[in-house]
Amino acid sequence: MDAPDPLPDHPAPDSPRGKLVLLRHGETDWSRTGRHTGRTDIPLTAHGEDLARAAGELVADYDFGLVLSSPLQRALRTAELAGLEPDVDPLMVEWDYGGYEGRTTKDIRAELGYDWTAFTHGVIRGETPGETVEEVAARASRVLTRVLPAMADGDVALIAHGHYLRILTAVFLRQAPRFGAAISLDAGSVSVLGFHREQPSILAWNHGPRLPQEPAES
């Protein structure tokens, strides 16, 4: 991964007027079956492409001054189908799940014998070293140092991944990173963050072509 962007010359504005619009990439074969998909670079399914187009319809009325995407193809293709032209930010890749890459929560729990979650118990080393929740939050924090000044001038869109965007939202809301466990995010969904009475707020969450029937598996 490239070195992180340097911190800005000036602090973020107190209460920027713009909105921060989050697009989770459309469905993949792994997200459909609940497999943890970190750095594995896999494409969208046909349904995932439909979800990306639907997300584009939801954000069509925004006039984005800054659009950033994860470098992984599922995010870039979602941006393309949604009609967005992003800059790539390597800090926006998904959580590195290490030895749990490609595995489902159900499978991991059966192996361990308890109700494991990535947010509560963390991941293990594998072909990649893995990351802690706090390490993902540190990456998200650096992205927000770029995003918040841009929000002073208008709206910003981020196209990335489920766990990453949930942790970034926790950081935006000035909560502990593990607060992200409490906010489910479906493939192809659109969410909106902003400021209400000087407080960072969730303005809309997990919107898609249909209301979710159950929490997202990954």
Which are the catalytic amino acids?
A: 25, 94
CB distance 160 to 24 below 8 Å:
yes
Exposed/middle/buried for 115, CB within 10 Å: 0-12, 13-18, 19+? exposed
In the chain, DSSP finds a helix count (H) and a strand count (E) of 7, 6
DSSP secondary structure string, 61-108?
T--EEEEEE-SSHHHHHHHHHTT--PEE-GGGSPP--BTTTT-BHHHH
Backbone angles phi, psi at 59, to 5 degrees: -105, 10
SS3 state at 148: helix
Instruction: State how beta strands 190-196 and 20-24 pair.
Output: antiparallel
User: CB 44: neighbour CB atoms within 10 A?
Assistant: 24
Kindly provide the b/e burial profile for residues 47-59, where b requires at least 16 CB atoms within 10 angstroms of the residue's own CB. ebbbbbebbbebb
| Spatial separation of the C-alpha atoms in residues 17 and 149, rounded to whole Å | 10
